[in-house]
Structure 1
Amino acid sequence: MRYLGRGQRWIAGHGRWWGFGLLPALIALVLYAGALTALAVWSGDLAAWATPFADGWGSPWQGLLRGLFVVLLFAGGLTLSVLTFTAVTLLIGDPFYESLSEKVEESEGHCPPGPGRPLWREIAVALRDMVHVLLRAAGFGVLLFLLGFLPVVGQTLVPAIGFCVSGFFLAVELTTVAMQRRDIPVRERLRLLRGRKALAVGFGTPLVLLFLIPFIAVVLMPGAVAGATLLVRDLVPDPSAGDAEPEAGPGGRAAAPEAYLPPQSGPGPSGVRPRAGW
């Protein structure tokens, strides 16, 4: 949670970048508001189209069925909006958040040069990675939905686990910008954050809870990206950054995170082909 505070403090000290970072979230908010408004306006027609078997039903059963369908349809749309808002905002704001993340890294002393891909290629990679992460998150969502029908556990433990799972994947999404700059593929990002589950969950879960408050996601998103950048700097130190001292761990010692090792194309001196790892 310290990274959340550090990111918001960085943004508070750089007000121009806070306003700059608000733009993608505001654009996404307008798009989602328009989509939800259209869904609300046309939900009655959608309910009638989806339930033709109820055309001959009398009152009040037809109204009750279609009213329930409208409520479930809008609730599903709202839930989908909450789950995808961050990913869509990051996709829209890729150039914005790339510049913001670079500024954060420069203010900390060193910014990795990045893979040097053109903008259209960066957006295509971001879209592909977003789909990859969302499919994994959807798999967990289906599993937790089914577990929610278990007595007692489904109403107590499963929702808490669900928030933690959402927090983990939100951390994956927010660290994407800084990870892509280091040219770390999405599968390796997931593996790295799985190895530090407490760090990822502790960063993402408070944001999931805060994002449930209307409009708060728009305000906090720039600071969340800044905090995620600071997290990645400590998690995957850049060898070319000089003799930067790692942060002290709980016992006062400097924590030395393992650096990302890119895959090598040929066998090593012993004839064994090395693996990419952490």
Structure 2
Amino acid sequence: MLRGNVFTGFGYLGEGFRLMRQPGLRRFVIIPMVINVLLFAALFWAMAQFFSTMIAAAMAWLPDWAWLQALDWLFWLLYGVVILLVMAYGFVMMANLIGSPFYGFLAERTEALLTGKEPESPGGWLSVLKDVPRILWREVQKILYYLPRAIVLLLIGLIPVVNLIAAVLWLLFNGWMMALQYVDYPADNHKLPFRQLRQRLGDRRLSAFGFGLPVALLAMVPVVNLVLVPAAVCGATAYWVREGVSGLPVERVRS
């Protein structure tokens, strides 16, 4: 049985956009945003080249059946949506890999703002630098979780007719991955193993999808996706403390 609330999950992203503008958090947002601008420009150019090549190859594989040729425009549209979804999570994955030390610190400060409780471990930039190897390994774990499943979905997307469901599967998978990706920042700050995080999010899967799906959709929108990542980190931290994932009593959490 699916538990949680899709609409509650959706609200955390809006709260994240509000939180990232708080005076105590703004300075932790600027550096990652600069990184995102440079990364998105490079990734957009690379994916534009890959997109044209993949479409040409996929259409060449189609049998010369009249009804399939009549659906030529639909296949172009579906492949385009799949590529956008791949680019969306690819951009987020790379941005998070590069900016993960900053995002972990942003999640820490957001949690302190929401709960009114300072972290037990000493913070600051020296602490961030010390934790860089562990944080990067955490990002690698998420990539290793993502890639095998993404490859399967890519293969499904190359099968004529069957690929009609590929875009829907990609959207659902990306929504789940976005929830995992961002709630993992506060979880990692508390040294919660990645496997346990997946289990806790799975216990309230509807809330996870409610948060992750709009993040996945906005990640495909140029310009918006440049400010999306820090907002998602802040929103995911609110999710962490309010959905029972963190284990904090609800009454200690500020609204």
Same-fold status (TM-score > 0.5): yes
Asked if the contact 2:35/2:99 (under 8 Å) is kept, the reply is no
CA contact under 8 A between 2:92 and 2:219: conserved in structure 1? Answer: no
Conserved? CA contact 1:112–1:238, under 8 Å: no
Equivalent residue for 1:145, pick from 130, 148, 154:
154
Which residues in structure 2 correspond to 1:1-278 (within 5 Å)? 1-12=10-21, 14=22, 17-18=25-26, 20-34=28-42, 81-108=87-114, 109-114=116-121, 118-149=127-158, 152-155=161-164, 157-234=165-242, 235-238=244-247, 244=252
1:49-93 Cα distance to aligned partner (Å, 9 max, x none): xxxxxxxxxxxxxxxxxxxxxxxxxxx998765333223323333
How far apart, CA to CA, are the structure 2 residues paired with 1:198 and 1:227? Answer: 16
* Equivalenced residues, count: 211
**Does the 8 Å CA contact 1:7/1:225 hold for their aligned counterparts?**
yes
Could you say what secondary structure the match of 1:175 adopts?
Answer: helix
Matched residues in 2 for 1:193 and 1:34: separation? 33
Measure the CA separation in 2 of the matches of 1:219 and 1:120. Answer: 24
State the one-letter code of the partner of 1:9: R
Distance change (3 Å), C-alpha of 1:78 and 1:231: closer
Task: Report the Cα offset of residue 133 of structure 1.
Answer: 1.5
Larger Rg: 1
Aligned residues with identical type, % of pairs:
27
Q: Which consecutive residues of structure 1, in runs of 5 or more, have no partner in the other structure?
A: 48-75, 248-278
Report which of the two has the higher share of helix. Answer: 2
How far apart are the structure 1 equivalents of 2:134 and 2:237? 19
Whether the aligned pair in 2 keeps the contact of 1:167 and 1:204 (CA below 8 Å) is yes
> What is the RMSD computed on CA atoms of the aligned residues?
3.5
Distance in 2 separating the partners of 1:195 and 1:8: 26
CA, structure 1 residues 167+111, in 2 after alignment: closer, same or farther (shift >3 Å)? farther
State the distance in 2 between where 1:129 and 1:192 align: 17
Which structure has the higher relative contact order (CA within 8 Å, separation 6+)?
Answer: 2
Q: Distance in 1 between matches of 2:219 and 2:149?
A: 20
Q: Contact 1:25–1:89 (CA<8 Å) still a contact in 2?
A: no
Instruction: Report how far residue 166 of structure 1 moved.
Output: 0.8
AA of the residue aligned to 2:128: L
Unaligned runs of 5+ residues in structure 2 are 1-9, 54-81
Letter in 2 for 1:208: A
Aligned counterpart, 1:266:
none
Give distance in 1, aligned partners of 2:254 and 2:42.
Answer: 46
Q: Distance in 2 between matches of 1:79 and 1:209?
A: 8
